[in-house]
Amino acid sequence: MTSPSAPDADHVLPDVLGEPWTAETLHLGHDDEGPVVATLVHHAAAEPTRRAVLYVHGFSDYFFQVDFARWWLDRGYDFYALDLRKYGRSLRDGQTPAFVTDLDQYGEELAEAWERITVRDGHTHVIGAAHSTGGLVLPLWLDAARPAGLAGVVLNSPWLDMQGSVLLRTVGTVAIDRLGAHRPRFEIKRAVDGFYTQALHRDHQGEWDFDLSWKPAESMKVYAGWLRAVRRGHARVHRGLDVGAPVLVLSSDRSSHPTSFDDDLVSTDVVLDVEQIRRWSTSLSRHVTYAAVPGAIHDVVLSREPVRHAAYAEIERWLDTYVAVDAGV
């Protein structure tokens, strides 16, 4: 992968992933840190199609999951991915990475991306896909916006509740809500060992190439205002959403908390509690399919090869069973 660069012109430019990947800057005005942008990454299918996927990444992340994209491209879907504001390709000098105080702020770039995919580019059948925090952001927007053309949603280990004790999820949430309202940039200190990212990156123990300045091993800093926004998003999920289309939720079959580099690190979810994912999945839509993939990691599609192929088989079954495709698509 080349060194980080991000397009600022209005036209489409080659992406850091290399041709035929392209990147298009979405200009979103200004905030107290200056100009705000998002980046729409795109790879067209081999033949013209009215089908597309829009993918949204997680926290301390950006789009680089080209194996996942290739799976969709091989099935005749154009693939789009959105680097949200202040993440990855969209992060600008002087900005606080990943920082927002309301998850609804992401609605601006999601709406802009959707308009370009459907109205400008003519796609009538769109699958929304997202991972982890993106798996919270995307359903909240879909529930509120109900965009035309949505055919289904695939969520990979969506973050639907705060992992940890009951006390943390109740009293702790009240404290975060107050602190985040009054001191949004107060840093919530965490101990991050970096094992998970090292287990993914090919320069360490993994097989994937990604930019460690955009997806750092030590993760990004967490601020009270951002965590308050996430907890408020969780509360909306818990009250119940309806994204307006069939949903597939994938996760590992097991969570763990390894303290060293061991087998659990590459065969379980070491980030989120899969029991919480399972519990809250049915709050996302009127029709939800949940699949626990044995041996999967937090980002299911970055699991070891046999495991991710099992995940793709789950997506294939779900598509064939629940996602209607018009003859003209």
pLDDT tens digits, one per residue of 305-317? 999 999 999 999 9
Cα 156 from Cα 269, distance rounded (Å): 11
- Asked if the structure places residue 179 within a domain, the reply is no
Three-class SS of residue 216?
Answer: coil
Check pLDDT > 70 for residue 6: no
Check pLDDT > 80 for residue 138: yes
Cα 78 from Cα 84, distance rounded (Å): 19
168 or 120, higher pLDDT: 120
CB 56 within 8 A of CB 109: no
Three-class SS of residue 274?
Answer: helix
Q: What's the order of all strands across the beta sheet hosting 125-131?
A: 13-14, 22-31, 34-43, 78-83, 51-56, 125-131, 150-156, 247-252, 288-293
Check pLDDT > 90 for residue 236: yes
Task: State the Cα torsion 133-55-193-291 to the nearest 10°.
Answer: 80
pLDDT of amino acid 11: 72
Picking from 149, 133, 155, 316, the residue whose alpha carbon sits closest to that of residue 229 is: 133
pLDDT of amino acid 215: 97
The domain that holds 126 is classified in CATH as 3.40.50.1820
**164-173 contacts: CB < 8 A, separation 24 or more?**
173/231
- Asked if the structure places residue 305 within a domain, the reply is yes
Please identify which residue in the block is written with the tokens 């301390």. Answer: 60
CB 291 within 8 A of CB 314: yes
- Asked if the structure places residue 89 within a domain, the reply is yes
30 or 165, higher pLDDT: 30
pLDDT of amino acid 263: 83
- Asked if the structure places residue 118 within a domain, the reply is yes
Check pLDDT > 90 for residue 145: yes
- Asked if the structure places residue 168 within a domain, the reply is no
- Asked if the structure places residue 46 within a domain, the reply is yes
Strands (E) across the chain are located at: 13-14, 22-31, 34-43, 51-56, 78-83, 125-131, 150-156, 187-188, 222-223, 247-252, 288-293
Structure tokens at 44: 């067209």
pLDDT of amino acid 131: 98
pLDDT of amino acid 3: 36
Tell me which of 142-146, 193-197, 229-233 is least confident. Answer: 193-197
1 or 297, higher pLDDT: 297
Check pLDDT > 50 for residue 4: no
What is the biggest distance separating any 2 CA atoms in the chain, rounded to whole angstroms? 54
- Asked if the structure places residue 84 within a domain, the reply is yes
Computed over every residue of the chain, the mean pLDDT equals 94
- Asked if the structure places residue 171 within a domain, the reply is no
Check pLDDT > 80 for residue 153: yes
Check pLDDT > 60 for residue 10: no
Three-class SS of residue 314?
Answer: helix
Please identify which residue in the block is written with the tokens 């999951």. Answer: 65
The domain in which residue 48 lies consists of: 13-161+242-322
Three-class SS of residue 40?
Answer: strand
Total structural domains within the chain: 1
Picking from 136, 142, 53, 55, the residue whose alpha carbon sits closest to that of residue 100 is: 136
CB 133 within 8 A of CB 159: yes
Check pLDDT > 50 for residue 2: no
**pLDDT per position as a tens digit, 258-314:** 888 888 899 999 999 999 999 999 999 999 999 999 999 999 999 999 999 999 999
Q: Categorize the per-residue pLDDT at 34 as very low, low, confident or very high, splitting at 50, 70 and 90.
A: very high
CB 296 within 8 A of CB 312: no
Tell me which of 78-92, 129-143, 200-214, 302-316 is least confident. Answer: 200-214
Check pLDDT > 50 for residue 173: yes
Element (H, E) at 107: helix 107-115
Q: Categorize the per-residue pLDDT at 117 as very low, low, confident or very high, splitting at 50, 70 and 90.
A: very high
Number of H helices, E strands in the chain: 8, 11
